[in-house]
Amino acid sequence: MTAILEIRGLVTSFDGFKAVGGVDLTINEGELRFLIGPNGAGKTTLIDTVTGLVKATAGSVRFAGKEMLGLKEYEVVREGIGRTFQTPTVFERLSVVENIDLAATFRRPLSSLLRRRRGVDDAVAAALQDVGLVEFADKTAGTLSHGQRQWLEIGMLLVQNPTLLLLDEPVAGMTKEERTRTGELLQAIALTRTLVVIEHDMDFVRRFASRVTVLHEGKVLCEGSIAEVQADPVVQEVYLGRAADRSGGVPSGVESHQHSEVG
């Protein structure tokens, strides 16, 4: 297994507060890795830093051997890292197929975009198929349900053919069936690409995760299979300790799960 993403000593601080406080993380090619941790653990900030949205204070992020820190957001995307956001952000005025088409043409020069779209490119049609939105192709994205928007976003990523996908809570707010479908979609994607998924829902993580990294207060707490992570006394301490003083805002999935199986 070769490492595709190597994060070393990454620090991101906001006005002195270290949201990410020295993270070392290696993601291997073809992995489907889940990032979990209590609220404020620095999961999203970590992704924000890797993708150039937030500036790192120290450390390095090497993707396929190339340093990513210092690149602009769109440059990182062009290197082959795609991401989604916690709240799906699609272009509501445009139709589903237009959204995906827009994502597909990102490597083309601006001058070639001055012509009208004629027909649907194969890659766009394939992405529509992959995320199961074929029948909604001509619908305005604004009319989609929350779950469909999330799929549309994943479709917009897929059509760009990235090597590494960073998904921020893709199943948040989804129904049970939608979660299952999304999980299967993620596993299918992981056959050909590398995926890092931030997730709060422990049931979902247990069903679909192979390898899990636990983040806590900006640092990697532990890493391993879901069983190993759950058995780790430090992880139990963090989650149970937080669960005890209700103010911690521990995600409900984690909380109930820890009570029932670990406790």
Partner 1 sequence: MRVRRRGASTGSRSPWYGRIGFALVALGFLVLAPATLSDFGLNLFTKYLCYAIIAVGIGLAWGQGGMLTLGQGVFFGLGGYAMGMYLKLQAAGPGKVPDFMSWSGVEKLPLLWRPFQYAWVALPAVIIAPMALAAALGFMVFRRGVRGAYFAILTQALAAAFVILLVGEQGYTGGTNGLTNFNQAFGFDLADPTNQRTLYIVTAVMLGGVFLLARQLMASRYGHLLVAVRDGEERVRFLGYNPTAIKVLAFTVSAGMAGLAGALFVPVVGIISPALLGVVPSIEMVIWVALGGRSSLVGPVLGALAVNYAKTSLSNRFPSGWLYLEGLLFVVVVGFAPMGLAGMIGYARSALDRFRRSPASRAAEAQRREEEAVPV
Q: Is 78 in the site for partner 1 (CB under 8 A)?
A: yes
What is the DSSP code (8-state) at residue 117? P
Buried b (16+ CB within 10 A) or exposed e, 194-228: bbbbbbbbbebbbebbebbbbbbebbbbbbeebee
Q: Is 74 in the site for partner 1 (CB under 8 A)?
A: yes
Question: Minimum CB separation from partner 1 for residue 54, in Å?
Answer: 12
Buried b (16+ CB within 10 A) or exposed e, 133-151: beebbeeebeebeebbbbb
Of residues 164 and 229, the one with the C-beta less far from partner 1: 164
- Angle at Cα 230 formed by Cα 229 and Cα 235, nearest 5°? 75
Question: Minimum CB separation from partner 1 for residue 150, in Å?
Answer: 14
Binding mask 125-164 for partner 1 (x = CB under 8 A): x-----------xx-----------------x---x----
Binding mask 42-71 for partner 1 (x = CB under 8 A): ---------x-x------------------
Of residues 14 and 106, the one with the C-beta less far from partner 1: 106
Tokens coding 85: 């956001």
Phi, psi of 54 (to 5 degrees): -120, 140
Question: Minimum CB separation from partner 1 for residue 195, in Å?
Answer: 16
**What radius of gyration, in Å, describes the C-alpha atoms of the chain?**
19
Exactly one of 118, 177, 246, 247 binds partner 1 (CB under 8 A); which one?
118
**What residues make contact with partner 1 under the rule CB under 8 A?**
51, 53, 72-74, 77-78, 82-83, 85, 89-95, 97-98, 101-103, 105-107, 110, 113-122, 125, 137-138, 156, 160
